[in-house]
Amino acid sequence: PKTDIVFLKVHKSASSTVMNILFRFGETHNLTFAFPIGGGNQLFYPHHFMAKFVEGFSPRNPQRFNILCHHMRFLQPEVQKVVSHSAFYFSILRNPVELMESSFAYYKGASAFSRVRSLEEFLLQPYRYYNPTDRDRHYARNLMTFDFGFNHDGEVSPKRVQLMLKLIEASFDLLLISEYFDESMVLLKEVLCWDLDSVVSFPLNIRDSSQKSPLSDSIVEKIKEWNRLDWEIYTHFNRTFWERIDRDIGRERMQREVKALRERQGELARTCLQGTGSVAPKHIKDSSLKPLQHGSARILGYNLKQGLDKETERMCRRLVTPELQYSSALYKKQFPQKDS
């Protein structure tokens, strides 16, 4: 199994669920994480990543960490200072239309969104609300392009798009697609030589779907146009994702593997969860399992079954612990002296 991993956690792309998978794997195998200094949950985002943002890094004694997965704005030469040269780089992308709809709910407080009532209103005259000098403008345009380290306000020329795609391909071993999450996990398991249980998960940091409203075709087109760079990244890597599946796994075997993954997830849900799945924040009984609520989104969580034996309880709890709580528990484990 590969144990040196860089995961670029792209915002609002099922990346919290992937992070839970990495946290669990790292904890089970006693791996070290490149934590933000002071145990925060972002590596000084939205600044480009610097090695010095990592707790325990020093240029005089460059310690290599196994897993780098907290929010950052990608900058490979700096990343290479904190992980081994053979580290495996991957990320996950999401359809920019869904991504923007999600960002609007989640980052409603961002400068570009705070003065409009709806996404439609924003898209009718984006430049009325979007200021290219605002510090938090990346949440409102080409968010994936920004997270990958590029200028998200740049012009969209074929030459520039090609260059960007080539650079991403040169830096990353695998790009997953959140719309095909189960297929993505099967592919990840395959490439990392992990077992099935390592990639089984429950969806984390998801919002209540009753809050989503369908978007009209004209709005969809406007979103694609406004997030043109993201759209180019997404369509390109959605294609290479399926090419890779055809080459390495084949559709038939993929179907079997996805079925096995879903069956295992169902088993775990029946073992671990009260009820059938996620619940609204006000119904989460254990406050340590409550996810952070953000913007106008209602973020769902889980209740564990009562009376589980110790070992099962521990396994189940790991599966449903929200990102911030899990991260800080692992930080305290890795840096016990910091807690005094």
Give the per-residue pLDDT at 35. Answer: 98
Rg (CA), the chain: 20
- Structural domain count of the chain: 1
pLDDT digits (tens, 9 = 90+) for 103-134: 999 999 999 999 999 999 999 999 999 999 99
SS3 content of the chain, % helix, strand, coil (to 5): 55, 10, 40
- Name the residue range of residue 233's domain: 5-334
Q: What is the pLDDT of residue 339?
A: 56
339 is a domain residue: no
In a domain, 271, yes or no: yes
- Contact 44/73 with Cβ under 8 angstroms? no
Mean pLDDT of 28-41: 96
Q: How far apart are CA 210 and CA 12, in angstroms?
A: 18
- Indicate whether 267 belongs to any domain: yes
| Cβ proximity of 96 and 223 under 8 Å | yes
Residue 340 in any domain: the answer is: no
HSE-up (13 A, CA, CB side) for residue 330: 31
Residues 60 and 53: their CA atoms lie apart, in Å, by 15
Q: Look at phi and psi of residue 250 and say left if phi exceeds 0, alpha if psi is from -120 to 50, else beta.
A: left
- DSSP SS3 for 325: helix
How far apart are alpha carbons 188 and 315 in whole angstroms? Answer: 21
Mean per-residue pLDDT for 83-100? Answer: 97
Domain CATH code at residue 106: 3.40.50
User: Is residue 85 in some structural domain?
Assistant: yes
- pLDDT tens-digit series, residues 53-63: 999 999 998 88
Encode pLDDT of 150-205 as tens digits: 999 999 999 999 999 999 999 999 999 999 999 999 999 999 999 999 999 999 98
Residue 210 pLDDT grade (very low, low, confident, very high; cuts 50, 70, 90): confident
Are the C-beta atoms of residues 189 and 1 closer than 8 Å to each other?
no
Q: pLDDT at residue 281 above 60?
A: yes
Residue 340 has pLDDT above 80, yes or no: no
Q: Does the pLDDT of residue 234 top 90, yes or no?
A: yes
Distance CA 23, CA 30 (A): 10
Which tokens belong to 94? Answer: 């999401």
In a domain, 23, yes or no: yes
pTM (predicted TM-score): 0.96
